[in-house]
Structure 1
Amino acid sequence: MTILHLALADDWAKAAQAGEYHVSTLGRTLAEEGFIHACADLDQLRGVAERYYTGVSEPLVVLTVDPGVLTCPVLLEVAPGTEEAFPHIYGPLPVEAVVSVTPFSR
């Protein structure tokens, strides 16, 4: 399974220093949301960017996550109001689970 996460570049830089990433989605932490929102493919990622990140002017990056490195559950769940299943990471994201970080452009 592919797991992608759209992140503010600054949030990722802080996580890279700390060793773990704790941002669920724009403006919400793992502690607040209970999981880290993610996408299964680029189409889902683009949809998330269009729905939630249109007003963001800060640089964004796409984190590609190796689920085999995660020590927490990853569940495919259908978001309210949609029929699509999205991967949700139920714990902090260790930086070593991120296999690539690429700039996101619309």
Structure 2
Amino acid sequence: MKKLSLLLTALVAFLTFHSVAFAEIKTSSLAIAKTQSSGKLPKQCQQMFQKADKLIADAEKQPGTHTQIKQMKSKLTATKQQILKLDTPMQEKSCDKGLTALNQLEKKS
């Protein structure tokens, strides 16, 4: 339970950080290029979201975590929407970082 609680806390922090980072990217001059929307996420983004979805699903099964679940789902949905607005190279870079962070969180807990 303690392991999952630490992982959930880290996941919320991770999703919050990415939401802020994507908001900054969106407004920066580096993101002026028109977003290419192929409708398909890069492999690393699919893996990152599957891992985050699994962590949230596992958390739902644990007592005492239900107060955080709604917030995590909301942040994950917002992160997904923000990633979809990025061009493919930026999606790949962002999801590589996110996947690395989630893998490190799993190893630490």
Give the TM bin, normalised by the shorter chain.
under 0.3
Greater strand content: 1
Tell me the TM-score normalized by structure 2: 0.25
Rg (Cα) greater in structure? 2
Q: Which has the higher contact order (CA 8 A, sep 6+)?
A: 2
Greater helix content: 2
